[in-house]
Structure 1
């Protein structure tokens, strides 16, 4: 594998899982002779996330202000673009993602069959035993239907943070990336712009610590705002691309 690959790990208060997450990647590299680089984006954590990274020589960028998930991930894309990476993988720092599935996500890009690949719990019936709460799954289905209504393409795991981008999309995301609701908005935007977006099945695990950026009490609020954002974003995108 000659491609230069960066794993972008946004982290906010992930002291319980960040070391294990990164160690798993390093161990995978050693076992399978892969060359995945790691970059943790510490989003102004108030716990020991940054101290743990520095104490274990894990490459980390420490943000001065909390930018939220969109700003943290875009920082990683800016780095990937600046250092000429061929592929960037988004990867959560909470222990949910399994590095063994990274190959499934990057293979379609390496083989030039896709520009952007989403690791999905829902694209096949039994892709993952862990599928999040029933309320969250209902919200995901509604958001998925909204994207389908606008784009005529179905994305099943619309909030998955386990995603891979090719060089063209790295450049695009480095320049422009949504601050709020980045996963569903970017999924839809890429489809509207004519990029080849693909879902592949992956297994995910429950988070090992910390708190999800989508709190349970905010689910309804989150879903309504995502749908409104998708409709506005989608109409704007259709005008630009039409």
Structure 2
């Protein structure tokens, strides 16, 4: 299977070279594309100086816009599957092969999960994760142990949908919506590192707002959403 690693990047000058060099040197079987989301630091310069495969967005579109750009590229280039992969060093490429094998069992999406076999910590942030897992379970009947994991592998059909639908955010509520629509989702156990450089935009207050937004969206808003594909409903 042709696999594309999509690496959205915003102000990741301190980590991007290590992440991409690891992919190039140790996992050449996977193609990659960096989507520079209007970074204000040296992220783009570093990528161009090293001749990395990069798409430069002229302005910051946010994760959804950057990820959709990567999915459009994956769809145009005919990839069989594409994986969302962090530029900050948290995601480990050694798990990609296992995720691809899991997808070949008949799944449409495979999530790299921290909590398939490992217990979920009792922190406030993990409390939010538990609430979102509960909301997905109640509304879909499917357990997703790590709904906020950003390490997600998508098959060819989902690449097309994410490429052509502007309202498909790479977030837990979209995962929940797609499960309700019959998309088959699996999780595999992975390890994730701490962010190697920079700071996450999700501080405590933003995390609370984010988790609340996801909960309301999963419980209420997704019930009024229709799955539309280009050229039909």
Q: TM-score, normalised by structure 1?
A: 0.88
Aligned-residue offset at 1:228? 1.5
Rounded Cα–Cα distance in structure 2 between residues aligned with 1:63 and 1:46 = 11
What is the distance in 2 between the residues matched to 1:225 and 1:26?
A: 37
How far off is 1:119 after superposition?
0.1
Q: Evaluate the alpha carbon distance shift between residue 196 and residue 43 of structure 1 in structure 2; reply closer, same or farther with a 3 A threshold.
A: same
1:67-106 C-alpha deviation (Å, 9 max, x unpaired):
1111111110010001111110110000001111111111
Matched, 1:122 2:82: no
Paired residues of 2:110 and 2:154 also in contact (CA < 8 A): yes
Matches of 1:118 and 1:41 in 2, distance apart? 21
**Is the Cα contact below 8 Å between 2:177 and 2:218 reproduced in 1?**
no
CA distance in 2, matches of 1:207, 1:177: 29
Correspondence 1:189 to 2:177 = yes
1:19 maps to which of 14, 17, 20: 17
Structure 2 alignment gaps of length 5 or more: 229-233
Unaligned runs of 5+ in 1: none
- Are 2:217 and 1:229 aligned? yes
Give the C-alpha shift of residue 186 in structure 1.
2.2
Stretches (4+) displaced over 3 A: 177-180, 237-240
2:135 paired with 1:146: yes
**Superposed CA RMSD:** 2.0
1:134 is aligned, of 117, 123, 136, to 123
Aligned residues: 228
* Structure with the higher helix share, 1 or 2: 1
In the other structure, the counterpart of 2:231 is none
> CA 1:209/1:133 → structure 2, altered by over 3 Å: closer, same or farther?
farther
1:44: which partner in 2? Answer: 38
Q: Secondary structure at the match of 1:224?
A: helix
CA distance in 2, matches of 1:132, 1:207: 18
Asked whether the 8 Å contact 1:90–1:161 carries over to 2, the reply is: yes
Q: TM-score, normalised by structure 2?
A: 0.91
SS where residue 111 of structure 2 aligns?
strand
Asked whether the 8 Å contact 2:9–2:39 carries over to 1, the reply is: yes
